Amino acid sequence: MKGMDAILEEAYRRGYDYLGRWRACAPTVFAAVMDTLGYSGDHVAGEVWKATIGLAGGTGNMSLGTCGAMAGAAAAISFSFGFTRDDVEKDVMKVLVVNSAVAEVGEKMREKYGGIRCVDVQFHNWGKAYILSSPKALAEFLAMSRDGKAMPECQRVTGDLTRWAVEKIIKCSPKFVKRDDFSF
């Protein structure tokens, strides 16, 4: 059986490593969270993953919105609660429960990276921001990577957000975890 520390370290590693697959922080974090919690190959999680692609790069690579890693974490946390439209229609307070869990992760991000927006994280990491929807800025940003690989600064962000989302889901929605090798 794996304990909490081992699961959280696995989550971080997945979040760090997966960024190289898609070079997009939102789908990276969502997939890393789902895989860590036992949803690798799950059809529904795979369908939700598709909805996270446009959230990368501060939403549509505009850099002005929420960091994609935070957006991916928010999507994973929201998904873990399993609330349907009917559930929320019957009890709108369910939205507040989800938002509170997401906000706690966002606060950790704000404390470590100076904010939750893509530009905040960029300023934290490089002292400047890149509007990634600009071809010139995107080229400059991508040129910082080594051999076309994901940048370690971004990988640390996706690792942290994956770890924090997994921790929050285990705390708030423990029945969502499908792993057989984890003891609470």
Quick: pLDDT tens for 76-107.
999 999 999 999 999 999 999 999 999 999 99
Distances (CA, A) of 105 to 77, 100, 157: 10, 9, 12
pLDDT at residue 39 greater than cutoff 90: yes
pLDDT at residue 47 greater than cutoff 90: yes
* Spatial contact of 18 and 163, defined as CB atoms under 8 Å apart: no
- Per-residue pLDDT, averaged over 13-34, amounts to 96
Question: Which residues partner with 182 through β-bridges?
Answer: 2
Question: What pLDDT is attached to residue 182?
Answer: 76
Cα four-point dihedral sign 48, 167, 91, 175? positive
- Per-residue pLDDT, averaged over 122-138, amounts to 94
Half-sphere exposure in the Cβ direction for 40 (13 Å, CA): 8
* Spatial contact of 101 and 176, defined as CB atoms under 8 Å apart: no
pLDDT at residue 184 greater than cutoff 70: no
Torsion of CA 48, 49, 50, 54, to 10 degrees: 110
First to last CA, the chain: 10
- Indicate the average pLDDT of the chain: 95
Q: What percent of the chain has pLDDT over 90?
A: 89
- Per-residue pLDDT, averaged over 141-170, amounts to 92
Cα four-point dihedral sign 176, 179, 180, 184? negative
Question: What pLDDT is attached to residue 67?
Answer: 98
pLDDT at residue 38 greater than cutoff 90: yes
Tokens matching residue 183: 């003891």
Q: What is the pTM of this model?
A: 0.95
- Domain extent listing, the chain: 4-54+67-110+150-173
**Count of C-beta atoms within a 10 Å radius of residue 13:** 15
* CA dist., res. 125 & res. 27, Å (int): 21
- Per-residue pLDDT, averaged over 98-124, amounts to 98
Tokens matching residue 135: 């071809």
Nearest partner of 94 among 104, 106, 80, judged by Cα? 80
